[in-house]
Structure 1
Amino acid sequence: MKNLPILILLLFGSCVQAEKTPRPKVILTDEQLLDTVQYYTFQYFWKGAEPNSGMAPERIHIDGVYPDNDAHIITTGGTGMGLIGILGAIERGWISRQEAVGRFDTMLTFLEKADRWNGIWPHWLDGRTGRVKPFSPKDDGADLVESAFLMQGLLVVREYFKSGNESEKSIAARIDKLWKEMDWTFHTQGKEVLYWHWSPRFGWEMNFPLEGYNECLIAYVLAAASPTHAISSQAYHQGWARSGGIRATNSGGYGFPLQLRHNGAEQLGGPLFWAHYSYLSLNPKGLKDQYADYWQENVNQTLINRAWCIENQKKFKGYGENLWGLTASYSINFYDAHRAGNDTGVISPTAAVSSIVYTPEESLKVIRNLYENYGEKVFGPYGFYDAMSPEHNFFPQRYLAIDQGPMVSMIENYRSDLGWKLFMQIPEIQNGLDRLGFSYQ
């Protein structure tokens, strides 16, 4: 296979095809280990993509069994989460710029024709037709948060290609058009808060205001940054920040304080994806406003999550310094938003892997333990599987896009700052952050 690191060829020989599972033969250095994990995780968004749309499938089950026959269903937010991983693959020589442009052309052609309402896509789309696949009975229309996750990745792609050749500039221009068509103000209902869902059949019946703190900060940053439909700063301060009610008092644990009230999990913090999803492009280093230092908040949330697993009150098998990390993933009860305080003995590899930007040494211990000691039980053709549990002998060979995307993008951010650099240099993003009162690097 051309453009593959010599390292991976040596390690896996004929097993480098993404459809097959790698079998480690030697002890890897940290850089070799990250190369391997990043490469295979990237394949979820490359060889694992839904063929018509070029987008990320909601899930890939190696066992071939899908709920509701949904193997063709793509996820808008999950796709956006993996786009930095595709750019990282260009930088690392795994694919060419031309190949990436071809893939982005396919994606944009699909997104331009797919169901949208006021420029906002749904959570799920049928990759064959571009029509909405309802996420729940009344969630059959515009999903502002998933669209924000998609657009944060697309804007990084726009920035990467904006000064390239004519084909690359065309990709950037088409993303810019989609960006400008997103009507964030519609999702305020004329109030000082953003609302998550709108349905062409049910209108605002889901009535879900975006109030912090959870994974949704990026939606407010993009809404304030929009060059065509920007929200007011009051929507951020009165809505998201609850007129100051977002601030925490006496929260945290294990010696790591939290500055923000984590919704429904104020004391010990929410599932770790709250420290990942909004920060795949938005650089938390030096990011501060009147409510928090977001780097410190994310580091402390991660360290609390780790400390909980090390303390291991329920004595789950395998837990410790080399195996920790609780977040939303597949679980013994199908799916669960695992966190400190809601722990079923299931470790989600994405939790520690995607936290490598916050806890590099601690995360690398987990990555090495999973890869070297559990091997094919937890690592397959698209990187680490979604969940594992020695306690329950639970090792499902299944993937979810929203867990693979943060891993590949955060590994690249850890290694090169690629996504963070590109996103934070965008003039609209800087204007939006300024409007909301942020300081940043």
Structure 2
Amino acid sequence: MACIFFVHSVSLTPSAFALSQRDFILLKKIQRDTFEYFLVHTDPETGLARDSSRPGAPVSIAATGFALASFAIASSHGWLSYREAYQKIEQTFNTLEHKTPKQKGFFYHFLDPKTAKRIWGSEVSSIDTALLIAGALLASSYFPGTSLPQRAQHLYEQTDWDWMRNNTLLFSHGWKPESGFLPFYWDMYSEHLILQALALGSRTHPVPRAVWSEWERVHDAYNGKEIVYAYTGSLFTYQFSHAFIDFRHLNDGGINYFDNSQKATIANREFCAAHADEYESYRNRVWGLSACLGPNGYKAYGAKPGNAYHDGTVALHAAIGSIVFTPEESISAIRTLYEYDGGRLYGPLGFKNAFNADRDWWTDDYLGVDQGMTFLMLENFLNDGAIWNRFMNLPQIKHWIERTALSE
């Protein structure tokens, strides 16, 4: 009996990546299972997404942005009906508009799931608000002709991006009513590119053009690859903004940030391979150093170039989050991790957050932002850049590109 193999052509790169039917089915399963997180861990009363699957976890405003996007995308796959997705997004918008406290349009990082009020003394967060707004704008684009696009636009327009500069040309990480602006600024490459894009694209609270050029592009090399690197070397810093923004054809004074993330991902993989003799976790083509839970709590694990703090803990979302940059290397790692030790790293909501073979440790927990980034990156990879196509057509993003002269 002849065996028939189906090959899916994924055209995210100049030479389309051929995806086997077996891998396609696995990736679709991971995407669908990962989406389940937002069905289970979005509060039914407020529509806000929890930071993690741990009992008693607060709401994360960034995870809520990913949830909004995920609900809309799920409706396009038939995993939710159009009406179900609309109602979930509408419920979240109702909470954001009428219940959640704000400062100059910015939201607090962590909220109580039931009351939607500030919790843990958290800060009004610049990056987490940006991820929320990005998710709201993307989600609403799936529902033209309804009130959702206008409501998402209102959330965007009320955000006073200029205020978050604190009279500098850099964005502060955040603000607290007790002490004012945090003494930390987005001053080098990191996940803040989505914040930059939304702020520079704003017409209601515009920031100076010089804001884009003020943060430093610090270069360093690893194994011959020169990279504009993030301080921690954590892979998520090269992924989060890219879940929304298609950087493939944007040139920032000779820097292509898609290519940069590709090189950073390969460096992360090679860094793990170089330390495989020291750490069992990095053997058998396993890699992925990023911020995640670990044996001693949440850590910003990373690779060179950068701070490169690591102890054998692998973030299970890291390789998937780079699938648009390194499909072959990512899928190889995904297969290995999916089958690892009888499948103990995979659960009903997709890949668990992290493991460390050297410490015989793994977590059964999931983190909302990592689930969201995984889901969105798989959508871009499996559906020919579907998110990118929508997001890049937003007038706010077009205005950012025009203002910063990012050449196509």
TM-score by length of 2: 0.90
- Name the structure 1 match of 2:158: 181
1:222 correspondence with 2:198: yes
- In structure 1, what is the equivalent of residue 3 of structure 2? none
Find the aligned partners of 1:434 and 1:374 in 2 and give their Cα distance.
50
Q: What does 1:90-109 align with in structure 2 at a 5 Å threshold? A: 90-109=75-94
> Deviation string for 1:174-202 (max 9, x for gaps)?
11111111110111122222212112221
Residue 59 of structure 1, aligned match among 18, 37, 52: 52
Aligned with 1:332: secondary structure?
coil
SS of 1:399's equivalent in the other structure is coil
Question: How far apart in 2 are the matches of 1:94 and 1:262?
Answer: 36
1:375 deviates by 4.5
* Equivalent-residue separation in structure 2 for 1:374 and 1:430 (angstroms): 47
Q: Counterparts in 2 of 1:83-94, with a 5 A limit?
A: 83-94=68-79
1:132 is matched with which residue?
118
Rounded Cα–Cα distance in structure 2 between residues aligned with 1:424 and 1:320: 38
Between the aligned partners of 2:386 and 2:25, the Cα distance in structure 1 is 19
- Contact 1:290–1:437 (8 Å) recurs in 2: no
In structure 2, C-alpha distance between the alignment counterparts of 1:170 and 1:74, rounded to whole Å: 25
Summarize the alignment of residues 191-270 of structure 1 with structure 2, pairs less than 5 Å apart: 191-204=168-181, 206-238=182-214, 240-241=215-216, 246-248=217-219, 251-258=220-227, 260-263=228-231, 265=232, 270=233
Once the two structures are TM-superposed, the CA of residue 291 in structure 1 deviates from its matched residue by 5.6
1:278 to 225, 241, 263: 241
Pairs aligned (count): 383
Q: Which amino acid in structure 2 is aligned with residue 252 of structure 1? A: A
Displacement after TM superposition at 1:381 (Å): 1.7
TM-score (norm 1): 0.83
Identity over aligned residues, as a percent? 29
**SS at structure 1 position matched to 2:298:** strand
* Aligned mate of 2:128, from 129, 146, 149: 146
Query: How many Å separate the matches in 2 of 1:42 and 1:374?
Result: 24
Counterpart amino acid of residue 424 in structure 1? M
Match of 1:379 among 346, 350, 358: 346
**C-alpha separation in 1, matches of 2:134 and 2:254:** 23
8 Å CA contact 1:88, 1:418 repeated in 2:
no
- Give unpaired runs (5+ residues) of structure 2: 1-19
Please give the secondary structure, in 1, of the residue aligned with 2:78: coil
SS of the equivalent of 1:252 reads strand
Could you tell me which amino acid in structure 1 is paired with residue 313 of structure 2?
Answer: V
* Structure 2 match to 1:17: none
Give the 3-state SS of the residue equivalent to 1:94 in structure 2: coil
Q: 2:188, 2:66 → 1: CA distance?
A: 21
Post-superposition shift, 1:255? 2.9
**Counterparts of 2:364 and 2:134, CA distance in 1:** 29
Runs ≥4 in structure 1, deviation > 4 angstroms? none
1:419 to partner: Cα distance: 1.2
Q: CA deviation at 1:261?
A: 4.3
2:372 corresponds to 1:420:
no
Q: Is the partner of 2:246 in helix, strand or coil?
A: coil
Instruction: State the shift of 1:438 in Å.
Output: 1.3
Structure 2 counterpart SS, 1:273: helix
Matched residue type, 2:378: I
The residue that corresponds to 1:429 in the other structure is: 397
**In 1, Cα distance between the equivalents of 2:226 and 2:143?**
40
